[in-house]
Structures are given as C-alpha cells and as structure tokens.
Structure 1
Amino acid sequence: MSLRTRNNQRMQPEDDVTYSTFVVVQTRWRRRHVATFYLPGVAPTEFQEGQLVDIKAVKLTSTKTQLPYEFYSVPFCQPVKGVFYKSENLGEVLRGDRIVNTPYVVKMKENKACQVLCMDKNMKYVSKSLSKDESEDFKEKIFHDYFVHLITDNLPVATPIKMPGGKTIYERGYRLGSVSGKEAYLHNHLNFILHYHETEHNTFRVVGFEVEPKSFKRGEIIFDEKDGQCKFNNPKNPHKVGGEAGDVLFTYSVEWQQSSVVWASRWDNYLAMNDVQIHWFSIINSVVVVFFLSGILTMIMVRTLRRDIAQYNKDDDLDETIEETGWKLVHGDIFRPPRFSKLLTSFVGAGIQIFCMALITIFFAMLGMLSPAARGSLMTVGIFLYMFMGLFAGYFSARLYKTMKGLQWKKAAFQTATVYPGIMFGVCLLLNFFIWGKHSSGAVPFTTMLALLCMWFGISVPLVFMGFYFGFRKQAYEHPVRTNQIPRQVPEQTWYMNPFLG
C-alpha cells in the first residue's frame, strides 16, 4: 500500500466539514500524518459524556406581525445567576437576534424524564406566577402565532411534524402556544430530542435539535421543590392563559438519540424545510425565457437602430426630416444633458453600487461562505460590501457627469455619496421609531445607528470621492448620435398628461 493511500484512509468521513468551511490540509510525507484546522466559529464542538450543553434563546418571531421580540419580553423563567446576552455581529443585531442564556440544564447523553424549570432565590423549584397583564401578553402573542427560537451548539431548534403519508417535515422553532376558538393555551412543557454522533475519539457532536411542545394544566403535574423532579398525574387538560392572573409550571424533558448523521450534514433538515425550499425549475425556466426574449428583442433593436443611426449621422435633408414621425423626430435631443444632471448621476451611481454589492455577495454565497451556520454573516457582508463599492459608484458617476458636460464634480460626488443612502437612512429611522414604540428587538439600537453612520461617512463617502476624482479625469463617453444645438420645442400638454398626475 502506498503512502498516499494510507494517508487518505486516515481521513474519515467524520472529520469532513460543511460546504461553508474552508479546510487547509498540510501533508508532511516524511512524518506520515495529516494536520487540519478550521476557521474560527465554524469548527465542530466535541463534548464529553456528562458535559454541559448550553441551550440559548434567540428571539420570538411571527409571520403575521413581522415584529421580532426578545426571549424575555414575555415572562419566561430566568436563570438564577442572571441574564447574559451574547456579543453579536452587525447582521445579527439588524435581524433582531438577541441571543441570551436560559435556565435549561442539558448534559451530553443524560436523559431527563421531567424537570421543573423555574427556581427562586433560595434555589427551590417553583411555579411561575403570572399577573393579569402577563397572562394577556402570552395570549396576545399566541393569537399572533409567535414562534420561540432556541439554539444549542449554533444549531436552531426545529419542531417535527408528521404528515398523513408518513413523511416528517420540520418547522423552525416551536409555537408559543395553540389556539382553540377564542381560548389560548400555553406550551409550558418542552420535550427536547437531541441527536448526537460519536466520533472515533470517543467524543460526541450535536447533529440534531428537535422539540415537542406540550401544554399541561398546573394541577396535573406533581413536583419536588428540592430536586425539581416532576411527574404527570394523568394530564388531560391544557394550560389556558389570558383573562386572569395565575400560576404556570414550566417543565422540560431531555431525550438523547444516537444518529448516523455526520456533523457536516446536520443542516440538511433545515435546508429542506417548506419555508426555505427554492423552486429551481421555475427559476431556471423564467431566466431562460427572459434571456431568450431579451436576445430576440436586442437583435431587432440593434439592427434597426444601427441603420437609423448611420442615417442620422449624415446631413439630413429637410424633406426626409418632415417625413419622419414618432420617436425618430427626437433622435437629436435624446442625449441632451438633463436639467438635474447631478441628481441623475447620483442615482445611477447608487444603482451601480447596489449591483456590485449584490453580485459579489451572491458569488460568495455560491462558494458557501455565507451559510446559515454563520449567523448574520449575509447581512454583515452585504453592508460592508456596499460601503466599499462606493469606489465604483463614484467612478462611473463621474464619467457620466463629465459626458453631460458637468463642471461641479465635487457637488456631484457629494450627492452621489449622500442622496440615496440619506433617503434610505431617513426612511429606516422613521420606521425604527415605530418599532421602538412596540419594544421589538427588531429596532436598531442607537449605538448600532452611530456605527452605521461612521461607516457611511468614514468609508463610503471618501471612496465615492476617490472614485469620482479618477473617473472625472477619464475621457467622457461618446454618443452614437449627434445632439442638435437648438432644443426641439415641446408642445403644451393637456392637464391629464402632467407629470405629477402620472
């Protein structure tokens, strides 16, 4: 057996990585071993038996209101040692994620039949007392179909749903409660089903995180205040919330199951969810049709316009000009500089800036560098790329501005760097005030807004001016048709042809 074959056999499938992970393999043939390392934040975490597996909360979301909320915006049980928020990147903050610790105690390969969640300051397990307003808050969010999102080892929780045909589909997160008529029932018991994969080093990796939410009435669960162990007393009635104050007992159970799924494939169930399925056939079909029709239309227009442009570049006879009708009458006024040339160049530059940002972002996403495992990376990369693409926006805007015989290039550059971002920032700021009023986690914090302003005026604006400087020194674009020196007289339009009514 050759040395290359022996080295390949040592690389087991368990040591592979996801498509989003870069692996650098350094092979030393003399020492006959292979060394690998992963990028920080995407390496698999290996647990020992009995080691604590942290379960953290992300947020509450709903498809009806589109307003995310923090996990503790509703009166869930809080850890005795206090609430600690995880430091997040820019994308996570803008998405409304507020990752925080929870009082769930889960250890690797240790099952729990039933465990009470809430503890008081005396380290006794108790039920949660809800006021009338807190109970109504639960009821309102249940009626708005809110989902609770938890994560462990950066893997989000999913609710399995068995279909009539035997197929199992998954929902991301779990429903806060259920609705029956005008009554709302809180899911106060969570059955966690965690899947683990054992490596060749006798360590374990979390490859699945499922939850089965249930609702049990307070009096149908018996528990011990010292150790928190509980058992169900023939539960039949769900726990109703809303209308009046009361006590609710939050409990959970843990079930570990061994799985043959490797760490590299643990995201497959999430990518196959109904809400994230991509209809590739429809997309490809639409793209092919659009390109086919665009190609035919382009060929027809190019052949027609090429003949017309060649004719217009000659000396026109008066008789031929009189015979022309329609859009051909204004061919000598098409490329006349508009009245607000600086405003036009600013929006053209903004479009180029967004196009370059989207193109590079899609390219990196195709390489797998912006996978769902890297939470918030897509939005973070998009914002930073938009800032750096200001160089291209300034360059092409300057050449267009010079083509329109503009002279105030500094004012044009300032408009290119501020008009479109200023409009978007103003609209987002106005909407942010309403989101703040709802106490939603989707509201952008004041410090994050200051950071965005610093990135705007510290990165984007200087790059736009730099691109404008180099672009204005380049030669202007050449028009395919000569522009008449005397503008054509525009006839007076009727009242319903006014631009404000259009």
Structure 2
Amino acid sequence: MRAPLLCALLLLAGLQACVQAFYLPGVAPQDFKRKDVIYLKVNKLSSIKNQLPYEYYSLPYCRPEKIVQSAENLGEVLRGDRIENSLYQIQMRVDEQCKVLCRIDALSGAQTKAFKAKIEDDYRVNMILDNLPVAMVKMRKDEKSNSLVKLYERGFPVGFTATTSGGQPEVKFFLHNHLRFTILYHKDEITDLARIVGFEVEPFSVKHTYETPWDKVSPTLNTCNPGRATFVTHDMPPQPVKEGEEVIFTYDVRFVASDIRWASRWDTYLLMIDDQIHWFSIINSVMIVLFLTGMVAMIIVRTLHRDITKYNQLESGEDAQEETGWKLVHGDVFRPPANASLLATFVGTGVQLFGMAMVTMLFALLGFLSPANRGGLMTAMLMMFVFMGLFAGYFSARLYKSFRGEEWKKTTMRTALLFPGVCFGIFFCLNILIWGQKSSGAVPFGTLFALCFLWFGISVPLVFIGSYFGYKKPAPEDPVRTNKIPRQIPDQPWYMNPVFSCLVGGVLPFGAVFIELFFILTSMWLHQFYYLFGFLTLVFIILLVTCAEITIVLCYFQLCSEDYHWWWRAYFTSGSSALYLFAYSAFYFYSKLDITKTVPMLMYFGYMSMISIGFFCLTGTMGFYACYIFVRQIYGAVKID
C-alpha cells in the first residue's frame, strides 16, 4: 500500500507545482486610479539574428541604484528571461513629455563596442508594463476587408546603421535614446478606475542639445521642451554611437482611451498568425488521413475478412500446403525481437512523451497557458514529463515481460536515463557555450541542480515504481504459440527493403504536420507568440491517426511477404518521420533565419536534434502500439491447428 500512496502523493505534488507555475504574479487584472505610479520593468535583449539573449543592463542603459529581479519560474530561467526594475516611472492617465532619464557624459570604448555589437546583430529591447510586453505598431492591409489592420512587433531595436554616400562608404551606428510610449487603457465609467490594455512604443534617435551648464535636477533641453513647443521627431539629427560621445536618454508618455477590454488585450499580439494557412494545414492533413483510412478499411474489410474466412474453413491437407500469406508466419510472428530491452525502453519513452503532450495540450485548451504566463508552457512540459515517468516505467516493463525478458531492472534504468540523459548531455554542452558568451540564456548552477533533482529525485523513482507494478502484473498471452525453430524468410522484393519501407512510412506523418511545424519553428526562433492550441490539438490527433494507419498498412504488406521481423520495423516506420523533421529544420534554418555565428548555430541544431529525437520516440510509439494491437487481433481471429 505504501508504493501506490507515494505515487499518488508525488503526482499530486507535481500537479500543484504546475498550477502554481501557471498563475504568475501580475496575471490578475489590476485597477489603477488616476496618477497611480506604475513601474516599468525591463526584460532581456533578444535577436533573431543572434539567438543568444542578454540582460537589459548588459548595455550601459540608465540603471537604478539597486537592481531587483522579479520572481521567475523554471521556464523563464530556461528561456533566458531576466525581469528587472528600471528608472522609468509612469503616472496613470497623466501625459508627460521629454522626461530625462539619465545622461552619459562620454561613452567609453567598451560601452561603444557593446552598443555597436548589439545594433549589428539586430538586438531588440523588451520591456513589460502590467505584464504586457512593449511592442511597435505595424499596419497591414487586410485583403478581405481592404482595410488596415494593426499588428504588434515585440520590442524595439537598440539602434540602427546607415551607410554614408560619396567617397569611401562608411557604416555608422546610431542609438535609439528617446522612447515615446503610448499606453492604451480601458476606463470604468462608474468607478473611474482603469486597466491597461495596450503598451506601444515608438523609438527615436536624437542628438539632444541643452542649455549649459547641465542641471542634474531639472535639465532644460533645446531639442525636446514642451514649454518651447519643441518635440522629438525623426527629422532631428540622430544620436551617433562613438567613443567619447555624450548620450541623453529621454522618454514621452501618452495615454489613449480604448474600447479593448482587459480580457482581449492580448488579441493584437496574436494576430501575427494567419488562420487561413492553419485551416489549409488541417485540410491537407485530413486528406492524408482519409487516404490512409481508405487503405486500412480496404485491407481490414475486404482482404483480411477474406483471408480469415478462407483460413478458418476446413480444407484438405493439399489445400493447406498451398496457403500463402500472413498466416504462414503465425509460429514466428510473436518471437521476441533482437534488442528487446532497447525496444521496450524506446516504447516507454514514447509513452512518457505522449502523456506529457496530451496533458500539456489539455491545460493549454483550458486556458492555463496564456501568453501572460511567461515560461508557463515550458514549465508545464518539464513537470509533466517528470511525472509521466510512472507510465514510462509501467509500459516498458509490460512490453519487456511479454518478450519474456528477465533483466527488468536494467530495462527500467535505461528507460529512466537514456532519453533524458541524451537531452541533458546536449543541453549541458550548449549551456557551457552560452555561458562562455556571457548570455542570460546560460542556465545558472541552481537551476541545473533543480533539473537534476527533478530527474533523479522524482522521475527516476517514478519510473521504477511504474516498472515494478508493470512487471509484477502477468504478461499478456500471445494468440498463437511460437515455434522453437525460426522459419526461413523468403527473398523480399526491393520495395519491401526495411530501409526503403521505413523511409516511405515516415513521409505521410510528416506531411500531416509540416505546415503546423512552420508556425512552431517561427514562434521558437523568430520570437513570435504561439497560442493556437486548438489547431495544434487537431494536428496532433491527425498525427496519431496517420502514424497508426501507415504502420498498419506497411506491417500487413510485410507479413504477407512472410517476413515476421515486424517489431522494430513497426517502430521505425512512423518514427522515421523525425528524419524529415530534422531535414525540414535544416531547410528552415537556411531559408528563413539569418544566423551566421557559431554558438547560435550550434544552439539551433542542438535543440532541433533534441526535438527530433523526442519526435522519433513519440511517433514511433504511436505506430508501434497500433501495429501491436493489429497483429494480435488478426492472429487471434484465425484458427491455428
């Protein structure tokens, strides 16, 4: 009784940790009175050209006397988010112009080099106000209504470059040192309280001038002075980034009333994704499923029904000798495969990933994983993977016992360590490289210790608990007896070659998801929000059906060719779609991304390798269990003498 109780307590603790990870501080709506002081927080510097994130204060921006970091969950730390306080102070519904933040007397050589490096790599500054990320406004023409639609582009550039004309061209760097914030608010007419529903920014580069000497308390600027009706425009001389150059940071604040309600304030951030392309993806996938379903129906309803009827008829001995097809290998079809322990390990890992994906998508569909919960998705996936180790151990042990294996502890240890160990090894090597670049994306030692605790302290024990109960339960009996002497396999036609057959089998599962994969890669590497979990769930169901059907079809053809080595081939048939996923990720890298530096390139292919390995285990397990059920059903339906 102790083991089930311990298992239940661990699962309860995991679910509680996930729920706590979803509800971050600041997610609940906040009501502000007029002139309430709102503190703007700064986030990481990010770039699609160089995927390494950096802390905001890694650049010589204006910093408070004491930098205070906000509480972060596990997902935020792994993503490199560092949320800190800033000198920006905003009064609710009070417009302000030309507020001076700070002044740098003269840029040093190191500061100039830091600014130029970030501008050259197209880094963008991310800020947060009332849990909303700052965004630049971009207008796009809607083809349906022929009207302009407002879109958001996260963050704003650190600066820009310009090439001088005439003589020898020279690239000059300029810094965005003036920010014009537009804050949208929705006011309650009865209480006069307001909620922030939009956080927009327009960056400017301006070489400020002022009346000398510099007044630290209330400086008077000539380039931005409401009393003199001078305001910052894009026509003003820009702020160059040069050693010894003076830099003055300023900002404006403008409040605009909006009809957007608080519950809908994230809608504009999510307009980046085109629903029409998603529906095209769904229709494309459904057509593949219908095609495969037709083939499976033809096999089961016509061919199998005819075969089973023929095999069950009382025939003479001469007629029995003329039989061909899948019945002839009934004495070998359930013979344990080579490396049975490794196959059980892969299947257990696939079950663990399948359970993680299903529960995470359930939370997402229920609305727990909104973009407001930064890091919530990654935290949920990690926690669910850890606690799904219980099912990984159970199913790997059940399969291994059906193979009449005896080294269940060795199989359990493989299930607990193989896939997480490979992923952690890749992650640790990449983390060392990122740490060498002094990026905020480097995971600190404390977080690495927490990951190891989740792995060895929770996941591994759960795998052993599941394996104990799985191996303790009696193994399922095979529908037919296995011969002592293996049957000789006849020569196979070229199209039944295992490599060719598996590569063909992986095309359709990948074809069912590759359009959705484009949006997932875009959200990961181009820093866009992904929140269409309804589409993702549909595509996942289609992937499940496609993997099952293509594996059943190819397994039936293999058995009809009197080749009974179907165990591993059933796993590789749908699992080979991971090869196409990795190949597509390489195509996406060279066609959509502009990454040229070594460490970001290694980051991309390292993380995509981890994803591809996980996709291999997931799809392979889907196809394997479909084929396993199919084979047991057809051989259980025929009479064997």
Interval containing the TM-score (normalised by the shorter chain): 0.7 to 0.9
Q: Deviation of residue 425 (structure 1)?
A: 0.8
**Can you list the C-alpha shifts for 1:204-238, whole angstroms capped at 9, x where unaligned?**
21111100001112448997431245341776221
Quick one: distance in 2 between partners of 1:491 and 1:439?
61
Q: Which residue of 1 aligns with 2:82?
A: 98
Q: Deviation of residue 393 (structure 1)?
A: 1.1
Q: Which residue of 2 aligns with 1:193?
A: 182
Q: Which residue of 2 aligns with 1:434?
A: 433
- The AA in structure 2 aligned to 1:174 is F
Tell which deviates more after alignment, 155-164 or 61-70.
155-164
Of 148, 151, 164, the residue aligned with 1:169 is: 151
Cα–Cα, structure 1 residues 441 and 490, in superposed 2: closer, same or farther, change >3 Å? farther
Q: Which residue of 2 aligns with 1:484?
A: 483
Q: Deviation of residue 266 (structure 1)?
A: 1.3
Conservation of the 8 A alpha-carbon contact between 2:151 and 2:269: no
Cα–Cα, structure 1 residues 255 and 337, in superposed 2: closer, same or farther, change >3 Å? same
- The AA in structure 2 aligned to 1:188 is N
Conservation of the 8 A alpha-carbon contact between 2:394 and 2:470: yes
Conservation of the 8 A alpha-carbon contact between 1:197 and 1:260: yes
Of 292, 298, 302, the residue aligned with 1:294 is: 292
Quick one: distance in 2 between partners of 1:69 and 1:427?
21
- Structure 1 residues 445-464: aligned runs within 5 Å: 445-464=444-463
Q: Deviation of residue 355 (structure 1)?
A: 0.7
Quick one: distance in 2 between partners of 1:245 and 1:217?
14
**RMSD of aligned Cα (Å):** 3.2
The answer to whether 1:204 aligns with 2:194 is yes
Quick one: distance in 1 between partners of 2:24 and 2:46?
30
Cα–Cα, structure 1 residues 397 and 238, in superposed 2: closer, same or farther, change >3 Å? same
Quick one: distance in 2 between partners of 1:140 and 1:275?
31
Cα–Cα, structure 1 residues 277 and 153, in superposed 2: closer, same or farther, change >3 Å? farther
- Structure 1 residues 118-133: aligned runs within 5 Å: 118=102, 126-127=103-104, 129-133=106-110
Q: Which residue of 2 aligns with 1:390?
A: 389
Q: Deviation of residue 408 (structure 1)?
A: 1.8
Q: Deviation of residue 153 (structure 1)?
A: 0.8
Q: Percent identity?
A: 47
- Structure 1 residues 336-415: aligned runs within 5 Å: 336-415=335-414
Q: Deviation of residue 479 (structure 1)?
A: 4.2
**Can you list the C-alpha shifts for 1:132-171, whole angstroms capped at 9, x where unaligned?**
2321222222222211110011111110123576443220
Quick one: distance in 2 between partners of 1:275 and 1:177?
27
- The AA in structure 1 aligned to 2:59 is V
Q: Which residue of 1 aligns with 2:97?
A: 113
Tell which deviates more after alignment, 308-317 or 451-460.
308-317
- The AA in structure 2 aligned to 1:298 is V
Q: Which residue of 2 aligns with 1:226?
A: 217
Q: Which residue of 2 aligns with 1:239?
A: 239
Cα–Cα, structure 1 residues 180 and 386, in superposed 2: closer, same or farther, change >3 Å? same
- Structure 1 residues 134-173: aligned runs within 5 Å: 134-163=111-140, 166-173=148-155
Of 40, 46, 56, the residue aligned with 1:61 is: 46
Cα–Cα, structure 1 residues 292 and 472, in superposed 2: closer, same or farther, change >3 Å? same
Calculate the TM-score normalised by the size of structure 1: 0.81
Quick one: distance in 1 between partners of 2:126 and 2:25?
24
Secondary structure of the equivalent of 1:279?
helix
Q: Deviation of residue 449 (structure 1)?
A: 0.9
Q: Deviation of residue 409 (structure 1)?
A: 1.5
Conservation of the 8 A alpha-carbon contact between 1:271 and 1:277: no
Conservation of the 8 A alpha-carbon contact between 2:45 and 2:124: yes
The answer to whether 1:51 aligns with 2:36 is yes
Quick one: distance in 2 between partners of 1:318 and 1:239?
96
Quick one: distance in 2 between partners of 1:317 and 1:138?
88
Cα–Cα, structure 1 residues 236 and 349, in superposed 2: closer, same or farther, change >3 Å? same
The answer to whether 1:269 aligns with 2:268 is yes
Quick one: distance in 1 between partners of 2:253 and 2:396?
60
Quick one: distance in 1 between partners of 2:317 and 2:117?
77
**Can you list the C-alpha shifts for 1:27-56, whole angstroms capped at 9, x where unaligned?**
xxxxxxxxxxx9974321112222111110
Secondary structure of the equivalent of 2:82?
coil
- The AA in structure 2 aligned to 1:254 is V
Conservation of the 8 A alpha-carbon contact between 1:312 and 1:481: no
Q: Deviation of residue 90 (structure 1)?
A: 0.7
Secondary structure of the equivalent of 1:91?
helix
Cα–Cα, structure 1 residues 321 and 465, in superposed 2: closer, same or farther, change >3 Å? farther
- The AA in structure 1 aligned to 2:29 is P
Conservation of the 8 A alpha-carbon contact between 1:55 and 1:101: yes
Q: Deviation of residue 82 (structure 1)?
A: 1.3
Secondary structure of the equivalent of 1:68?
coil
Conservation of the 8 A alpha-carbon contact between 2:184 and 2:256: yes
Quick one: distance in 2 between partners of 1:311 and 1:354?
41
Q: Deviation of residue 321 (structure 1)?
A: 7.2
Quick one: distance in 2 between partners of 1:455 and 1:173?
34
Larger strand proportion of the pair: 1
Cα–Cα, structure 1 residues 98 and 39, in superposed 2: closer, same or farther, change >3 Å? closer
Calculate the TM-score normalised by the size of structure 2: 0.64
Quick one: distance in 2 between partners of 1:348 and 1:399?
10
**Can you list the C-alpha shifts for 1:428-469, whole angstroms capped at 9, x where unaligned?**
111111111111111111111110111111211111111111
Conservation of the 8 A alpha-carbon contact between 1:193 and 1:257: yes
Cα–Cα, structure 1 residues 423 and 307, in superposed 2: closer, same or farther, change >3 Å? farther
Quick one: distance in 2 between partners of 1:198 and 1:450?
46
Quick one: distance in 1 between partners of 2:101 and 2:175?
15
For structure 1, which runs of at least 5 residues remain unmatched after alignment? 1-21, 23-37, 119-125
Q: Which residue of 1 aligns with 2:250?
A: 251
Q: Deviation of residue 276 (structure 1)?
A: 8.0
Conservation of the 8 A alpha-carbon contact between 2:27 and 2:131: no
Secondary structure of the equivalent of 2:462?
helix
**Can you list the C-alpha shifts for 1:372-416, whole angstroms capped at 9, x where unaligned?**
112211111111111111111111111101111111212211211
Report how many aligned residue pairs link the two structures.
450
Quick one: distance in 2 between partners of 1:138 and 1:479?
69
Cα–Cα, structure 1 residues 57 and 481, in superposed 2: closer, same or farther, change >3 Å? farther
Cα–Cα, structure 1 residues 418 and 87, in superposed 2: closer, same or farther, change >3 Å? same
